[in-house]
Amino acid sequence: MNEAALAQRGGMLGIDNARAARLIALLLPLGLLGGALGSQYIGGLYPCEMCYWQRWPHGAAIVLALLAFTSTATSKRSIGLTLLAAFAIAISGAIGVYHAGVEARIFEGFTTCTATGGLSLEDLMKVPLIRCDQVQWSLFGISMAGWNAILSLSGAVLIVFLILKSRRA
């Protein structure tokens, strides 16, 4: 199939670049946040403070991407919201880089104790103490923070690339 036919059909998957960018801006943070929550509530891996930091931008990206679906994919509103979602995803990736650096002892992490989930001393005693500089789980030697960094930053770049490509077409 030649390039002109692919462009007319809307890309390799039959979806134009703006729609693909918007879809990635929704599905990527949904998958990453879902994986984080699944690892916590199903897998029993308790998050540290920096793990929580990485979740908030993904939540914002989901909301922004959902709002982008309220307009046509090529509208300025939808493209702007999709780019904002990509920015939120990139923020989570940047936090993931820092967190992975703390785990690898490249950066200094917290020098004080942090705990989440408790309001009183009794509540705090029930919450597991999870250090941000210790890897709880890894795949191919890359921690969850590292995978978040890789997938988030790559996804954000892909979203921006697809938006720019859709504007040239």
- Residue 98 CA to residue 54 CA, distance in Å, equals 10
- Read off the pLDDT band of 158 (50, 70, 90): very high
Higher pLDDT: 99 or 130? It is 99
Where is average pLDDT lowest: 25-39, 68-82, 137-151? 137-151
> Helices H, strands E: what count in the chain?
6, 2
User: In this predicted structure, what is the pLDDT of residue 6?
Assistant: 43
pLDDT value at 133 more than 90: no
46, 131 Cβ separation under 8 angstroms: no
**What is this structure's pTM?**
0.76
- Residue 32 CA to residue 96 CA, distance in Å, equals 12
Q: Which of 72, 5, 65, 77 is nearest to 33 (CA)?
A: 65
For 95-105, how does the pLDDT look when each residue is reduced to its tens digit (9 = 90+)?
Answer: 888 878 777 77
User: In this predicted structure, what is the pLDDT of residue 101?
Assistant: 79
